A and B are shown apart, each in its own frame.
Chain A
Amino acid sequence: MKSKLLVSLLSCVASTALFAAESPAVGTTAPDFSVTDSKGKTQSVSQYKGKYVVLEWFNPECPFVKKHYGSGNMQKLQEEFTGKGVVWLSIDSSAAGKEGHLTAEQANQKMTEWKTKQTALLLDPNGKAGQTYGAKNTPHMFVINPEGKIIYEGAIDSKASANPADLANSTNYVKVALEESMGGKPVTTATTKPYGCSVKY
């Protein structure tokens, strides 16, 4: 067993039933993982050092996720920020046989069908990336700045509901955090309680 001091980016998997899989706190260094995406490429947080990275926990069957994709809201956000050089990683941590589990083929199909605009859709059926980040919900969002620090963690927006009609009068925390940080300002709302379905580990 290699010691983890210099390899401190090795994730520590929080253990079930003992320790809540706590999300790493805002301001700390974003832990790394390495997960294969739907195109078969290996994706990690560390390879995008120097760029903003958005992590979005994803489950195509979850009504809260459907709220944001069915309305085109999530695609719009992905398009806007990947256009500004942000790396957007959607992560599906549903275990095999659980709701929302996708094979690479199904994932690519879903991306085409929903016209998604993320950088990559990561398939994490063993829940490693999910547990590293203590992801509890779909959608559960993390924003990482170019220095590799977490600057936002929590819900996608201010209205916890599965109703697309609520999008109009809600604040999108991810958008605000990215815009503030890119403008050189501190993020005003850096931690919120995420809402959505539970991640189906």
Chain B
Amino acid sequence: MTRLRCRGYSSMVSNGMNPGFSMRSSLLAAISVLAFVCPGRAQTFQGKELVQASLVADVNAVVPGKPLTVGLLLKMAPHWHTYWRFSGDAGLPTEIKWNLPPGWKAGEIQWPLPFRMIDPGDIETYGYDNEVMLLQEITPPASVPDSSIKLAAEASWLVCEKLCIPGSANLQIGLPVSDKNAAANEDLFTRYRRSLPQKWPEGKVASATWSRGGQELQLTVESAALANYPAADFFPLPDANVVVGHPKTERSAPGKLIFRVPIEGDPKLSALNGVVVFGQSANSAERNGWTLPTEVQMLSGGSGSLWKFLLFGFLGGFILNLMPCVLPVISLKIFGFIQHAGQDRRRILRSGLAFIAGIFAWFIGLALLLIGLKSAGREITWAFQFTNPYFVLFMSAVVLVFALNLFGVFEITLPQSASRGVLGWTAREGDAGSFFQGVFATVLATPCTAPFLGTALGFAFTQSGWTILLMFVAIAAGMSSPYLLLSAQPAWMRLLPKPGAWMVHVKQLMGFLLLATLLFLLWVLGAQRGVEGVIWASCFLLALSVVCWMKGVFLVPTASHVARVVSILLALLLLLGSGYYFIGEKFRATRLASGEMQMQGDWQPFTPERLEEELGQGHSVFVDFTAAWCLTCKFNEASVLESSAVRDAFQRHGVVKIKADWTNADPAITKILKQFGRPGVPMYVLYPGKNAEPILFPELLTQSLILEKLETLLPHVAAQ
């Protein structure tokens, strides 16, 4: 038996401004159960022993050239903890600095699986309580001249309960040198080796893929083995200065886990290192963990996925045509086809192409604007332009002018040069008209995120400018595809009725459809600026109508030069005067409307605090993210959320219903939309409970979707 000698001291920063040192001389205890362990150095605080540190070896002697494992054993006082290699929102990982004789090498620290700790203020840290042992492989050189050696290390750690105190200890372990050795401290090492993460399983046992959606990385792990473990967790290991949020776990199938990790900054970051942990219960001692393979395949950023998203964009663009508010313009276009039915095919094709060019022009313009905003660091969202009351006002004016034109109050004559300039070929008047119809149809189509578009844009907004541009081009292509087909399809011609006097009537009817659209826009304005806002806006629109009428009456080719000049001046005066007074003075001064829509019945208005409070009281919460100008939202609300089956189910399960109204782009709501990687409304989220993962629903709701989720996730609440 070799007598070992241990020396060392431990220190801590005491409560004063100067580090104080507490020395603890320790008598060498008789070597008992823990052979080859030096008595720990203790860190004391206010008379309490917080951490006891010691070094432990897994062998009873050093054999030259043969690696051994040494563990730093830290025993913490109850409720005090030290940290994992990535400590989370606060804390510091424990450090070990070896002072080894020449020729000796120390390997990387092997860290047992950490535990998740949550403090008030949503501060999440990863570490250990009670006791932990950090393992390191030590490799002696091939020849060791001495008969015994001392391995010395300085360990430093941060130990926290409600407060944090750094501690450190100079530790030593002495071992005889021999040509053979036996295992020592087997129980301790077996226990801690079991708690280390394992390598990622070989072959096809488990797959891991990263993808990126918005400010969030998603890790999908699939393995049949996971089905036996109800609890799963992901502990990230980000590189220095990558700021990660708190991973959230979802299980979409027994053997399939999705971990969502919010990230800040680096838009190019596509994967993280980390450890996937699973067990019978969260934070239990009996857990298994796999270290992610470093070469995890990436979903996003790969060209394959880009194509998938572009396809989504194309489909979404196609579906935009079916949006209710686009109908008048679409009818106009069809009407255009009828008008041109008598003309040759090339003419029709050209007018169709002009219309399509209009669609592309708007989308590419929007893409460039978004790229500009994004590079300026602004939050960007889809349909953001509708959150601005002045844009809505402008749209109302455009719609009204179009309607008056259809009623025949005046004719729109576009100068030749403009149309040539835009389209680059000698166009007749109709082409420029078609072009602007294209722009117009598209503008009206944007208030709602069509299905597929949300996914596609959510992806695009996190990518480079080129990707955003490509995505918008795909959407434009999708939206214009029917017209391209129709324009290029001569068989169509035979199906069209002959032009005649009835066309004037249809045109006027279309005008009324546009007026219906105007009503909708005014309603949006009302939601943003209240009744007063709508009234002042309408005053301006009235003045604008008079200007249009003047144009129709006095600005005709037969009018004399003087009459023209006078009427132009009068029209300008009226337009500018009413614009200045009604919009610049009156409308601008209107108080913002409350931002809360009519909360029908049992919906409560959203605030982050309210959501937190409801969850804190143990309720499940369903949040409807909506806006006054979003028609998909209205449709979902009417057909699904307000249907009696869904209403009953919400009530039966005791779900609290909250409406988040994004009509005025409330930043608190924008933030949450971004957290879920969504570019806009509609969005539907079910929070099953305080610690359960939120469930995100698709943009087109169905009753069965909601009912199914409620049944599987939530307990029944007895009817009161």
Binding site for B on A (CB under 8 A): 1-6, 8, 10, 12-23, 25-28, 61-64, 66, 69-70, 95, 98-99, 127, 130-131, 136-137, 149, 154, 160-163, 189, 191-193, 195-201
**B90 close to chain A: CB less than 8 A:** yes
Chain B residue numbers with a CB within 8 Å of A161 are 92, 166
**B351 close to chain A: CB less than 8 A:** no
**5 A-B contacts, Cβ less than 8 Å apart?**
A20-B262, A98-B162, A131-B121, A191-B265, A192-B241
Of all chain A residues, which has the CB nearest B95?
A161
**Nearest-CB distance from B674 to chain A (Å)?**
9
- Inter-chain CA distance A15–B539, complex, in Å, is 43
CB-based contact A136/B123 at 8 Å: yes
CB-based contact A16/B89 at 8 Å: no
Q: With A2-B592, A23-B264 given, is the CB distance from A198 to B90 under 8 Å?
A: yes
Q: With A66-B17, A199-B123 given, is the CB distance from A17 to B166 under 8 Å?
A: no
Q: With A4-B667, A22-B262 given, is the CB distance from A14 to B122 under 8 Å?
A: yes
Of all chain B residues, which has the CB nearest A28?
B377
**Nearest-CB distance from B137 to chain A (Å)?**
25
Residue of B119, B121, B160, B387 with most chain A CB atoms under a 10 A cut-off = B121
Contact residues of B between 599 and 614, Cβ < 8 Å to A: 605, 607-609, 611-612
- Inter-chain CA distance A195–B18, complex, in Å, is 21
CB < 8 Å neighbour of B595 from A3, A64, A66, A149: A3
CB-based contact A198/B125 at 8 Å: yes
**Nearest-CB distance from A192 to chain B (Å)?**
5
- Inter-chain CA distance A67–B163, complex, in Å, is 15
- Inter-chain CA distance A161–B87, complex, in Å, is 13
Binds A, one of B242-250, B402-410, B453-461, B631-639: B242-250
CB-based contact B667/A70 at 8 Å: no
CB-based contact A25/B122 at 8 Å: no
Of all chain B residues, which has the CB nearest A113?
B17
Chain A residue numbers with a CB within 8 Å of B15 are 61
Residue of A6, A21, A98, A193 with most chain B CB atoms under a 10 A cut-off = A193
Of all chain B residues, which has the CB nearest A70?
B17
Of all chain A residues, which has the CB nearest B86?
A193
CB-based contact B387/A5 at 8 Å: yes
Of all chain A residues, which has the CB nearest B87?
A195
Chain A residue numbers with a CB within 8 Å of B412 are none
Chain B residue numbers with a CB within 8 Å of A195 are 90, 92
CB-based contact A16/B18 at 8 Å: no
- Inter-chain CA distance A97–B658, complex, in Å, is 34
- Inter-chain CA distance A98–B161, complex, in Å, is 12
Residue of B124, B160, B608, B675 with most chain A CB atoms under a 10 A cut-off = B608
CB-based contact B265/A26 at 8 Å: yes
CB-based contact B593/A3 at 8 Å: yes
**Nearest-CB distance from B387 to chain A (Å)?**
7
Binding site for A on B (CB under 8 A): 13, 15, 17-18, 89-92, 118-125, 156, 158, 160, 162-166, 238, 240-243, 245-246, 262, 264-265, 376-379, 387, 528, 592-596, 605, 607-609, 611-612, 615-616, 664-668, 671-672, 675, 687, 690-691, 694
Chain B residue numbers with a CB within 8 Å of A201 are 119-121, 123
Of all chain B residues, which has the CB nearest A160?
B92
- Chief secondary structure at chain B's binding surface: loop
CB-based contact B18/A13 at 8 Å: no
CB-based contact B92/A199 at 8 Å: no
CB-based contact A200/B609 at 8 Å: no
CB-based contact B668/A17 at 8 Å: no
Chain B residue numbers with a CB within 8 Å of A192 are 241, 243
CB < 8 Å neighbour of B608 from A19, A25, A69: A19
Chain A residue numbers with a CB within 8 Å of B265 are 25-26, 191
CB-based contact A4/B666 at 8 Å: yes
Chain A residue numbers with a CB within 8 Å of B13 are 63, 66, 162
- Inter-chain CA distance A193–B164, complex, in Å, is 18
CB-based contact A137/B121 at 8 Å: no
- Inter-chain CA distance A63–B90, complex, in Å, is 13
Chain A residue numbers with a CB within 8 Å of B246 are 20
**Nearest-CB distance from A84 to chain B (Å)?**
25
Of all chain B residues, which has the CB nearest A198?
B90
- Inter-chain CA distance A131–B121, complex, in Å, is 8
CB < 8 Å neighbour of B122 from A17, A27, A64, A95: A17
- Inter-chain CA distance A149–B139, complex, in Å, is 52
**Nearest-CB distance from A76 to chain B (Å)?**
16
CB-based contact A4/B595 at 8 Å: yes
Chain A residue numbers with a CB within 8 Å of B165 are 63
Of all chain A residues, which has the CB nearest B161?
A99
Residue of A2, A61, A154, A197 with most chain B CB atoms under a 10 A cut-off = A197
Q: With A22-B245, A195-B92 given, is the CB distance from A17 to B612 under 8 Å?
A: yes
- Inter-chain CA distance A61–B118, complex, in Å, is 21
Q: With A28-B379, A63-B166, A137-B90 given, is the CB distance from A1 to B605 under 8 Å?
A: yes
- Inter-chain CA distance A58–B664, complex, in Å, is 35
CB < 8 Å neighbour of B264 from A22, A66, A160: A22
CB < 8 Å neighbour of B243 from A28, A61, A130, A154: A154
Of all chain A residues, which has the CB nearest B165?
A63
CB-based contact A20/B665 at 8 Å: no
